[in-house]
Amino acid sequence: MKTNELIRFVLCYLIVFTLSARLQAQPVEKMVKVAIAPDHADWVYKTGEPTKFKVTVTKNSELLKNVKISYEVGPEMLSPVLKESTVLTDGNLVISGGTLKEPGFLRCKVVAEFDGLKYEGLATAAFNPELIKPTVEYPADFVQYWEKAKQELATVPMDVKLTLLPDRCTEKSNVYQANIQNYKPGMRLYGIVSIPKKPGKYPALLRVPGAGVRPYNGDAATADLGMITFEIGIHGISVTMDPSVYLDLGKTTLDGYPFFNLDDKDKYYYKRVYLGCVRAIDFLYSLPEFDGSNLAVTGGSQGGALTIVSAGLDSRVKYIAAFYPALCDLTGYLNNRAGGWPHMFRDQKVVKEKIETTKYYDVVNFAKNVKVPGFYSWGFNDVTCPPTSTFSAYNSISAPKELFIMQETGHWTYPEQNEKSKQWLLGKLMGK
């Protein structure tokens, strides 16, 4: 790889890391660790059952003595019902957390102070999560609305433009930037498609993105295994530009895009995004290398939302793998419980038109129309896509489904979660 190409690659990597840090950052190791664990090994309780949270504060793996802490307990994302502070003489404490009378999640947060710095820990107990029901209403014309939108999309030519990216190609796969017309003339969809070089017919994997504005590298490594991969952006801009462009757009033109035109369901920003996922599937089906049947979608956070939306919108999707989906049960806050990212009704003034719009874009309502097998994974400590919201969507799915819970994770994944998802997808698409 030439020097300038190497520099560009490094810059792209750094920009992806920076822009996704808010939503998908791995936890940073710290000198002092605040560990919290509910007294049930699986962190799951029945409604009305009391909880206890065991707290330990350690430094160099030894209990830290005489450390000052403050703690609070309450329903996730809502005001705490218990707030206290104390000094741990031996680094241990058991907190009586109370209970919940309705299915949901009860969160304990502890902040320890040591040597002028603060260290935080979380633990979240689940109460009959399988019984959580969504608060969002299902519009009577939901299916008709999106069928009409797809029909309008079908009248717009794809106008595909492929640009080979030689520096990203591998011995086994060619890599291109795809530039495709979206649901309105002149509106574009960009992504990186990786196609095996060996002649043949291959399954396809559509990768849908988390929130933010960033470039994309594609997934040539998976293509090398014998699969077409297509990683898309959602903003109608090239995904191979200089990293500084995405930083500027994220701070200016595209800042706050999840709220753009929220008071009008026909102009809301995510209409282009959801239909863009359908257009991406159109494109994959147009490829002569595609086997014409085996197609899966995967993503996390906003990408988890788009994964479920794609399956709810398009019957050509055969399998999905979604991590901590966003945009689930957005009206939760209007019903005194946690709602999904981007938490649009948590602090903002409630407007009737905005509530009406969200009914047509809430992942819960797409989940009700999912008909294909799915793999799902998240943790109980997620403060970006709260588990109350993700279970609202998961419990609305009647299709075959597999849930892999890693209780202590927040808005990030362990390698084991990624590996399980990978193996599940390979098994479905390639029989491996």
Active-site positions read: 301, 382, 411
Using left for φ > 0, alpha for ψ between -120 and 50, and beta otherwise, residue 335 falls in alpha
| Type of residue found at 415 | P
| 3-state secondary structure (DSSP) of residue 24 | helix
**DSSP secondary structure string, 229-296?**
EEEE-SSSS-SSS-HHHHHHHHHTTTTTGGGTTTT-TTT-HHHHHHHHHHHHHHHHHH-TTEEEEEEE
Helix (H) or strand (E) holding 22: helix 3-24
- Contacts of residue 68, Cβ cutoff 8 Å, sequence gap at least 6: 85, 86, 87, 88, 112, 113
Helix (H) or strand (E) holding 107: strand 104-114
Q: In this structure, what token pair is assigned to residue 319? A: 């399998």
| Type of residue found at 108 | C
| Type of residue found at 277 | C
Strands laid side by side in the 401-405 sheet = 161-164, 173-181, 188-196, 228-232, 202-207, 290-300, 319-323, 374-378, 401-405
